[in-house]
Amino acid sequence: MSTVIENLLARKQKLVEQLEKAPSVEDRDKIEHQLEQINTALDFLDRPGPKSAE
């Protein structure tokens, strides 16, 4: 699971860099939407899940 989180964090970093250089409001909106999706995924992955019965 840590690979998924690492990939999401790497993607988030790239999007933040793109956001700083985004030429139009439309581009920034698209990037911000993607960042929201990544943050949601990270929040979901960070939540403690139910304990599995072993």
Contact 16, 42 (CB under 8 A): no
Compute φ and ψ for 22, nearest 5 degrees.
-60, 125
Q: pLDDT tens for residues 20-52?
A: 999 999 999 999 999 999 999 999 988 777 665
State the pLDDT at residue 50: 67
Is the per-residue pLDDT at 14 higher than 50?
yes
Q: Is the alpha carbon torsion for 3, 30, 19, 45 positive or negative?
A: negative
- Residue count of the chain: 54
pTM of the model: 0.79
Q: Is the pLDDT of residue 17 over 70?
A: yes
**Cβ 46 vs Cβ 9: under 8 Å:** no
**pLDDT for position 48:** 74
Torsion of the alpha carbons at 19, 24, 25 and 27, rounded to the nearest 10 = -50
